[in-house]
Structure 1
Amino acid sequence: MMGVSLTHRFDGDYEWGGLKLTLDMSFDNILLVYEMLEDRYLGTIDKLLLAVELLVLDDEELSDYGDQELIQLALDLFRDCLDRDLRGGEDKEAESDENSINTPVYDWNEDAELIYASFLFDYNIDLYEAQGSLHWSRFLALFKNLSDKSPFGIAVHYRTCDVPKPDSHNKEERDHILKMKRKHALKSEKAMQAQAEAAHQHALAFAASIANQKGR
């Protein structure tokens, strides 16, 4: 995917197999494509074919192409336009989206309200009004540079910050950070925290039962 350039306009032109295709690269359409990829009821082939329908505006030019060719087109589109190599290679965007596989920093769906409010806060951009016109590359450039004071920036800060080790002076600070971490945690993170807490409580109960048996 071409990054932001101050000398070139953003457009949706894409050449493939001798064809010049026009793509819908508006941010809301790309997010719709990403949402479709997460649909557990769709098979991989169906997802790739649907991605072509969503991304290519003049898909009549593709009417003579079979599924295998359209699948190849979809894979090329993800690689060239979205930095996502679905063939199993390096996925640049997926790597930049998360600090690690187990600790996601944000989620497009869960954080939609925060992202919307943050674009208004930082740029005075109403994303609803920008649907269909704001190019994905422009959206990403703005998204990646949202300020720490924006609603989204605050949420990410508390999701990623460390909790200081307890001492005689920082109880209030620790309590505040833990409270904010709970408030801003993603659903997946909350589920992991609940599992960890349940495992901890189980371990305490087990240790207590062993101690009681030894005391008899």
Structure 2
Amino acid sequence: MRLNDPLVTSFLYQDKKYPLDLAFDNVLDVFDVLGDKTLREQEKAEICLVLLLNESFKGHEAIQLWNFIYESFIKIESTQPIEYDLKGNPLPVQEEDTKSLINLDRDAEYIFASFKQAYNLNLLEYQGKLHWHEFQALLNGLPSETIMQRVIQIRMWKPSKGESSEYQQAMKRLQKVYALDDGDEEEVD
């Protein structure tokens, strides 16, 4: 997202202009389709294109167009910074460091409550209106006192010296309550 660029509502692909519905709830519907294990990849691409473009495409054309749209406008990039050693070499990334901290489906209630708390914004009233990129920016910018940020803090917590064993046990219990075990659904870093 760039502040000096308009929000994407259309795009040019192979010399044709397409309207693009990137309302956050529409994109969440796309993620539901992508998570449907009963559909083949081509079927997922075709359904997602109908949701986003309100137009049908079939076969190889659908897959190519879908891949372009996903990579260009929907894909959630990891925001974890690359750390370097003193010589400027990238440090290895621990697998636990790449673990997603938010699941858009499972954390829906926390996200809803956090948007209401932080921005006085009822996401249900903004369905069809709030652009996916706006939604991502607001989600990434949630203040630390919101429930979603607290859940993230719990998921990220690691025991450290000086913490009582009772506190550590309580945090481990909370981590089990708020754990994201299933990696099959769309997640946000």
- TM-score bracket for the superposition, by shorter chain length: 0.7 to 0.9
When you count helix as a share of all residues, which structure comes out higher? 1
In structure 1, how many angstroms separate the alpha carbons of the residues matched to 2:33 and 2:172? 34
Match of 1:49 in 2: 46
Shift of 1:180: 2.2
State whether structure 2 residue 174 is matched by structure 1 residue 180.
Answer: yes
Unaligned runs of 5+ in 2: 81-93, 184-189
State whether structure 2 residue 117 is matched by structure 1 residue 121.
Answer: yes
What amino acid maps onto 1:33 in structure 2? V
Match of 1:196 in 2: none
3-state SS of paired residue (2:102): coil
Give the structure with higher Rg (CA): 1
Match of 1:69 in 2: 61
What amino acid maps onto 2:126 in structure 1? A
3-state SS of paired residue (1:21): strand
Q: Residue 100 and residue 130 in structure 1: after superposition, are their counterparts in 2 closer, same or farther (change >3 A)?
A: farther
What is the TM-score of this pair, normalised by structure 2?
A: 0.79
- Larger RCO of the pair (alpha carbons < 8 Å, separation 6+): 2
Unaligned runs of 5+ in 1: 84-92, 190-216
Match of 1:198 in 2: none
In structure 1, how many angstroms separate the alpha carbons of the residues matched to 2:72 and 2:41? 19
State whether structure 2 residue 165 is matched by structure 1 residue 171.
Answer: yes
Q: Residue 80 and residue 143 in structure 1: after superposition, are their counterparts in 2 closer, same or farther (change >3 A)?
A: same
Shift of 1:11: 3.7
In structure 2, how many angstroms separate the alpha carbons of the residues matched to 1:48 and 1:16? 16
CA contact (8 A) 1:4 1:137 kept: no
What is the TM-score of this pair, normalised by structure 1?
A: 0.70
> Can you list the C-alpha shifts for 1:43-89, whole angstroms capped at 9, x where unaligned?
011011111111103x2xx6xx6522222111111111123xxxxxx
In structure 2, how many angstroms separate the alpha carbons of the residues matched to 1:139 and 1:100? 27
Match of 1:79 in 2: 71
How many residues end up aligned between the 2 structures? Answer: 169
Match of 1:32 in 2: 29
Shift of 1:13: 1.1
In structure 2, how many angstroms separate the alpha carbons of the residues matched to 1:134 and 1:100? 33
